[in-house]
Amino acid sequence: MTRFLLRRTGLAVFQLFVIGTLVFLLVRLIPGDPARAALGETADAEQLAHARALMRLNEPVAEQYAGFWARLLHGDLGTSLISGRAVLADLPIRLGNTLELVLLALAVALAAGIPLGRAAALRAGRRTDHAVTGGSILGLSAPVFVIATLLLLLFSVYWPVLPQQRYVTLWDDPLAHLRLLVLPVLTLAIGATAVITRMTRAAMLETASADFVRTARATGIAERLVVRRHILRNSLVPVVNAAGVELATLIGGTVLVETVFGWPGLSSYLINAVSTRDYPVIQAVVLAAAVLVIAVNLAADVAGRLIDPRAEAV
């Protein structure tokens, strides 16, 4: 296990280094510069030159690159060229807001999807199964922004039980915050539930026909126990697999949810930064997303090995 951890951590560091370098180069390829974005259209050439100097955009690239990593290793994520605020002041909060949506959606998806998939698998071929499968394929097919917009239309316009409110944090007004969460989490959860449902169903069906299950049945163990002890547990691995992949998909999905519902998360932070060419923020956000995904994968692999050491690893 230790060797595995060391190897994977080393790999993770390497991956992060690659991504960091790619992002550094990427943002400097973006046309237009932050000085322009900060000063607007009325600024003349002289003012722009001054702003660029203040933003240290004229330093040689190699120096900027070295400085980027040096600051990063000291925990300095840089300062926004546009707002003047330290990225470290804002990034964790925005990241947290996004994670709030993602984790809640995943939790809902697992809480709803596993039982649904189980029910469908146990009654394979019958009406329940058809209903669940049909519903999940529909849930998979609706793009996130369609679900978001239609839910908004339904619950804010036609049947205003959840009218559009301004954002408040959990600390300020827990009840209002929870109400705010409903639509964005629901939006994300629909697709995720569909995936989990399908995966659970498929995995259970596959396991159910496996040899060791037939043996268990043959030895007279009660069906209920067979399901619980053998089928469900062995199906867990691919389901958990799917959950991990879903996490990355969900993080991507928040881009659209944050736009439609005005949720101050990581994606809106990124989109703002891109539209103003705020290099430090863009770099930090992409790196943060990469760290998140790599960390989740790593931790998940570890967890997976703990659950079932016999499971294959690549």
Footprint (CB under 8 A) of other proteins, residues 207-236 = none
* Shortest separation between residue 290's beta carbon and other proteins, angstroms: 6
State whether residue 226 is helix, strand or coil: helix
Q: Give me the half-sphere count of Cα atoms (radius 13 Å) on the Cβ side of residue 189.
A: 20
Q: Quick one: how far is CA 80 from the chain centroid?
A: 24
84 binds other proteins (CB under 8 A): yes
Closest residue by Cα to residue 105 from 181, 182, 170, 185: 185
**Binding footprint of other proteins, residue count (CB under 8 A):** 129
* Shortest separation between residue 86's beta carbon and other proteins, angstroms: 9
CB nearer to other proteins: pick between 93 and 221:
93
- Find the binder of other proteins among 149, 154, 217, 221 (CB under 8 A): 149
- Find the binder of other proteins among 119, 181, 221, 300 (CB under 8 A): 300
Tokens of 280: 């430090």
CB nearer to other proteins: pick between 186 and 286:
286
Per-residue binding letters, 60-79, with other proteins (x by CB under 8 A)? --------------------
Which residue is it, tokens 């900060």? 38
- Find the binder of other proteins among 70, 111, 137, 178 (CB under 8 A): 137
Rounded to whole angstroms, what are the CA distances from 1 to 9, 303, 304, 305?
Answer: 12, 11, 12, 9
Closest residue by Cα to residue 104 from 278, 293, 254: 254
Tokens of 17: 């280094």
- Find the binder of other proteins among 43, 154, 226, 291 (CB under 8 A): 43
3 binds other proteins (CB under 8 A): no
- Find the binder of other proteins among 94, 113, 116, 118 (CB under 8 A): 94
170 binds other proteins (CB under 8 A): yes
Is 45 buried (19+), middle (13-18) or exposed (0-12) by CB count in 10 A?
Answer: exposed
* Shortest separation between residue 39's beta carbon and other proteins, angstroms: 6
113 binds other proteins (CB under 8 A): no
Which residue is it, tokens 């649904």? 116
- Which range of residues in 12-20, 66-74, 214-222, 224-232 is near other proteins by CB under 8 A? 12-20
9 binds other proteins (CB under 8 A): no
Q: Which of residues 231-290 bind other proteins (CB under 8 A)?
A: 237-238, 240-241, 243-245, 247-249, 251-253, 255-256, 259-262, 264, 267-272, 274-277, 282, 286, 289-290
- Find the binder of other proteins among 57, 71, 83, 155 (CB under 8 A): 83
Tokens of 172: 């300020």
Torsion angle, alpha carbons of 227, 229, 234, 238, to 10: 70
| Alpha-helical segments (H) within the chain | 2-29, 34-39, 45-54, 61-73, 87-122, 127-141, 144-152, 174-208, 211-218, 223-225, 233-261, 266-275, 279-307
Closest residue by Cα to residue 82 from 277, 312, 291: 277
- Which range of residues in 66-74, 181-189, 226-234, 291-299 is near other proteins by CB under 8 A? 291-299
112 binds other proteins (CB under 8 A): no
Which residue is it, tokens 């929870």? 178
